[in-house]
Amino acid sequence: MYLFDIIVLIDDDPINNLINKRLIKKLEISPQVEEFLEAEKALSFIKDLPPSTKMLALVDINMPVMNGWDFLLQYAPMVVNREDKIIMLSSSIDFQDRQKSKKFSYVNGFIEKPLTPEKLEKLLQ
């Protein structure tokens, strides 16, 4: 039984996406993992998902063009009737980033890279 219908990885580093995708597939928490190097393309994809889709998004903070914070600001009004889980996944060790993520009611957690099975399972409990 899968926890999510789809997991969306949003990170401008293709190596991180590849590693995270393999880890998620190994954990068998979703049958589908989509990766995006650009937050704008991820927003467009998410917007077109059926409202009943159980989605988990792992969002990097530091990306060119649209960063993770900008993604969150554009995400909120776009998906009013959804119950997605969003986790910030960042190399930032800045306490202020962790605190800032808590200001978004629809952000369910903050994980410092690298993603590990233990970190992910802890947040999903």
Higher pLDDT pick, 121 / 32: 32
Q: Which residues pair with 31 in a beta bridge?
A: none
Give me the pLDDT at residue 46, please.
95
Give me the pLDDT at residue 44, please.
96
Give me the pLDDT at residue 82, please.
81
Higher pLDDT pick, 91 / 125: 91
Give me the pLDDT at residue 81, please.
76
pLDDT at 83 over 90: no
Give me the pLDDT at residue 74, please.
95
Give me the pLDDT at residue 53, please.
94
Q: Could you report the per-residue pLDDT of 21-72, keeping only the tens digit for each?
A: 999 999 999 999 999 999 999 999 999 999 899 999 999 999 999 999 999 9
- Whether residue 114 is preceded by a cis peptide bond, meaning omega within 30 degrees of 0, is yes
Domain boundaries of the chain, sorted by first residue: 6-124
Give me the pLDDT at residue 72, please.
96
Give me the pLDDT at residue 78, please.
84
The DSSP result for 15-68, as a single string, is: HHHHHHHHHHHHHTS-S-EEEESSHHHHHHHHHTS-TT--EEEEE-S--SSS-H
> In this structure, how many other beta carbons lie within 10 angstroms of the beta carbon of residue 21?
15
Q: How far apart are CA 2 and CA 71, in angstroms?
A: 26
Structure tokens at 98: 């962790």
Domain 6-124 fold is: Rossmann fold (3.40.50)
pTM, full prediction: 0.94
Residues 77, 83, 89, 93, CA torsion sign: positive
Give Cα separations from 89 to 1, 9, 20, 114, 123 (angstroms). Answer: 25, 9, 10, 8, 12
